[in-house]
Structure 1
Amino acid sequence: MAHSIDVSEEAGVRYLHFGSDWVQGAMKVRRPYALELEYTRHMAAGLLLRPAPWPRKVLLIGLGAASLTKFFYRNVPQARITVAEIDARVVAVARAHFKLPDEDARLRIVVADGAEVVMRNTGYWDMILVDGYDHNARAGVLDTAPFYTAARAALATNGLLASNLFGKRKTFRDSLARIGEAFDGRTLALPQCETGNVVALANAGEPFALPFAEIQARAAALKLETGLDLRDTFKRLAIELATPDDILRF
């Protein structure tokens, strides 16, 4: 029997649930294009690591409450966005309750297995953002070595992968190791969110070095342009990594 898809609302925030109290997405009703949950803000952190007009082609796996879809649609105007959502009911709920924009030349919603979409496109995407979990918070094939290998092949030469993992799970280090193996060690785990989520970034291109001061300048500009503030996230990352020259190598 398929799980239910439920919507709740409290203190001006609307939540999406897959048959349990587990939050699968959230939207502040008065700010529907903002990223309400901390981990979704971390999922967008790759925008600080490459200069515009990158990215031009973005794949989102897992629609949820459409938070990342709406953020990229509004704030990354050069990007063509494809969203792969395996459950048509989630798409309908996102349209009815979470202000999912209508499809147009920049936005395409496909009801499909995100892993299959990845495997059909080689060297195509600039960003792949993976946030696909079932009602038991299981990622399935989206957290396997074959998928990460396929994701690397699907990324362009300057492509980045962002994957939502659960840092409190015993399998977290295994997940990070699988990503690292597929991307030749060019991976980065952002600081853990209060909810236990850890966003892992992976670089499909050549290694690069970026001073944290430059990242902070980009973060300040991104906040002015979009309202998304990642400055504290990268301050925490700089402390965690403790590089002697204050440079992020990735």
Structure 2
Amino acid sequence: MKAGANATARKRTGPQTLPDVTLSEDGEVRFLHLGTEWIQGTMLIDSPFAIELDYVQRMMAWLLFVEPDSVPKRRALQLGLGSAALTKFCFKTLRMDTTAIEINPQVLAACRGWFKLPADGPRLRVLLADAEQEIRKPVHTGQYDALQVDLYDHEAAAPVLDSPDFYADCRSVLSDEGIMTVNLFGRDASYERSLQSICAAFGEDAVWAFKPTREGNTIVLAQRTADRPTRMALLARAEAVQSRWQLPAVKWLRIFKPVS
């Protein structure tokens, strides 16, 4: 929920100043901020392992392309921890081996202290690192079936990493059946440039996109290996996803399609 932001990719130069983390609540929902009013993540206080925001739920659309029974045997990677909604869902609800990469130690501390993120263990780890550098390490190559990219700074003004080279590095960490989902701003003039960067790395026939949410967030999905299931096959899978994990997957099919 980073509406009104400009999705122009920016080059990071010089040492980074990491913002302070702040919290707020409205009684039912707890919000994570990075020193501004922009919401960087949420948690339903009474359902801490559910995903509350529409666009974050849509980051799980890779489930439409895999056999539901295979999900607990797969591996997930998040770039950007946020309020740990995706990390908790993959680890706790989907029972996946889950890794997250987060650059700001305050974000990790907030997630552990205020957003119910479990401690690291055999199936869960959070790496404090720069995602751009970390995913280039050979240990990650070809290791993940689901990659979820939501990298914004404290101004929520642009994806911090958004180049063709970065998306090529993202593709390199995926297994043959692996899928990336990424949060962009579909109403911004630079959305097409971001989409072209993803298509350059993955191929146009491997890329799908949602319509923007009310706030403007657009989730783009890219497959390591292009696959075009029929609408009937997608509907059957969406019904299974909705039944098993209470995600609004059937509704997704009305607002989700290949980009070419």
Contact 1:62 1:131 in 2 (8 A): yes
Instruction: Deviation per CA, 1:200-248: give whole Å up to 9, x if none.
Output: 100111x3221222222222222222221221121233xxx5xxxxxx6
State whether residues 191 and 233 of structure 1, in contact with CA within 8 Å, keep that contact through their aligned partners in structure 2: no
Change (3 A) 1:209 1:116: same
Shift of 1:2: 4.3
* Residue of structure 1 in register with 2:80 after alignment: 62
RCO comparison, higher one (Cα < 8 Å, 6+): 2
Shift in Å, 1:190: 1.2
Corresponding residue for residue 97 of structure 2: 80
TM-score (norm 2): 0.86
Are residues 1:232 and 2:232 paired? no
Q: CA-atom RMSD, angstroms?
A: 1.7
Task: Give the partner amino acid of 1:194.
Answer: R
Cα distance in 1, alignment partners of residues 242 and 92 from structure 2: 14
Where does residue 229 of structure 2 map in the other structure? 210
The answer to whether the Cα contact below 8 Å between 2:75 and 2:97 also exists between their aligned partners in 1 is yes
Q: Which moved more, 1:217-226 or 1:66-75?
A: 217-226
**Partner deviation per Cα, 1:37-62 (whole Å, 9 max, x = no partner):** 11110100101111141461211011
* 1:166/1:197 contact within 8 Å kept: yes
- Inter-partner Cα distance in structure 1 for 2:63 and 2:237: 9
Supply the distance in 2 between the matched residues of 1:28 and 1:159 (Cα, whole angstroms): 29
Conserved? CA contact 1:103–1:109, under 8 Å: yes
In the alignment, the residues of structure 1 paired with residue 83 and residue 63 of structure 2 have an alpha-carbon distance, to the nearest angstrom, of: 21
The size of the alignment, in residue pairs, is 238
* Cα-to-partner distance string for 1:11-30 (whole Å, 9 max, x where unaligned): 41111111111110011111
Structure 1 length-normalised TM: 0.90
Q: Residue type of the partner of 1:107?
A: L
Could you list the per-position Cα deviations for residues 84-135 of structure 1 after superposition, in whole angstroms to 9, with x for gaps in the alignment? 0000000000111110012111100110111222211222211111011111
- The alignment-based identity, stated in percent, is 34
What SS does the aligned partner of 1:7 have? strand
8 Å Cα contact 1:210/1:249 also seen in 2: no
Aligned to 1:111: 128
Match of 2:44 among 28, 34, 37: 28
Higher mean alpha-carbon deviation, 130-139 vs 215-224, is at: 215-224
Tell me, what secondary structure is at the counterpart of 2:213?
Answer: coil
- For the residue of structure 1 that corresponds to 2:254, the secondary structure is helix
Deviations 1:59-89 (CA, angstroms, capped at 9, x unpaired): 1011111100111112222x21110000000
| Residue aligning to 2:147 | 128
